[in-house]
Structure 1
C-alpha cells in the first residue's frame, strides 16, 4: 500500500514539474514513478509485491473490458434480432473469494457485465447465486465466471 502511495505521489510530482495536468501526463508520471520504484526499491518484499500487482491490474482491466464488449454484443444481437436466444436461469457458483470486500467486488464485476446479475450470497459466504441470461451450458458459464473471479483475486490479494 505504501508503494502505491509513493507511485501516485511521484506521478503528481511529475505533473507539477511538467506543468501539464492531463490524464495522459498523469499516466506517464505513473509509469515513470513505477520505473523509479522498480529501480530503487525493487528488492523490498512489499514493493516487489506491488510491482507485480500493477501489470496484473492493467491486464485485468483489459480482460474485463474485452468480456464487457463481448457480453454487450451478445445482448445487443439478441435484442435486435427477431428470434430470442435467451435461456435464463439461476446458478450457484462456489466462491474462492473469502473476505466481504472480495465477495462484494466479484459480485459487482459480475453484475456489471450484461447478461449476468449477482443475486445473493449464501449465509456461509461460500456460494454466490447468479442470474444468467444465457444458460446454454451451466459448466461453461461457471468456468467463465470463475476466470473473472480468479483474475480479480490476483489483483486484490
Structure 2
C-alpha cells in the first residue's frame, strides 16, 4: 500500500493499491441524481478519475476546477470523473455554485465500492485519499498517483500527459 498522511498523520488505506498495467476494477458510485454509475458506463473512452476527500474544501475544489478547465481540450473520447464520499446532494449544490462543466461528480458514500476497489479509503476518516487514475479505452490503468500528503495537490501535468498519450 501507498504511504499516505493526512495533516502529516499516517492513515490506513483500505483496499488494494493499484499500479499502471493493472486491469481497472469495476465499481458502482452514484450521480448527483442518485443513479448508479459503473466503470463500464464509460467503456471505450479514456477515463481520468480524480479522487478527492471532500469536494467542498479548497484543494479538492481546485483539483476539480483544474481538470474541468482542461477537459475541453482533451476531446470527446475522454471522460473526466471526480469521486468523493460527499453526499450526491452536496456534490450537486457545489457543482451548481462552481459552474463546473465537463466533469461528472460521483459519490462513493453508499458502499465505498470505488474506494475499496482502488485502495483509497482512509480507514480513520471514512474519506477517500487524494489520488488520480487514468484508465485506457480497454480498462487498463495507464497512470496512478496516490498523493502522499492528502492535503497537497496531485501532479496535474503528469496526469494530463498520461491522458494525452492515450489519445494521441
Shared fold by TM > 0.5? no
Q: Which has the higher strand share?
A: 2
Work out which structure has the larger RCO, using CA pairs closer than 8 Å and 6 or more positions apart in sequence. Answer: 2
- TM-score scaled by length of structure 1: 0.27
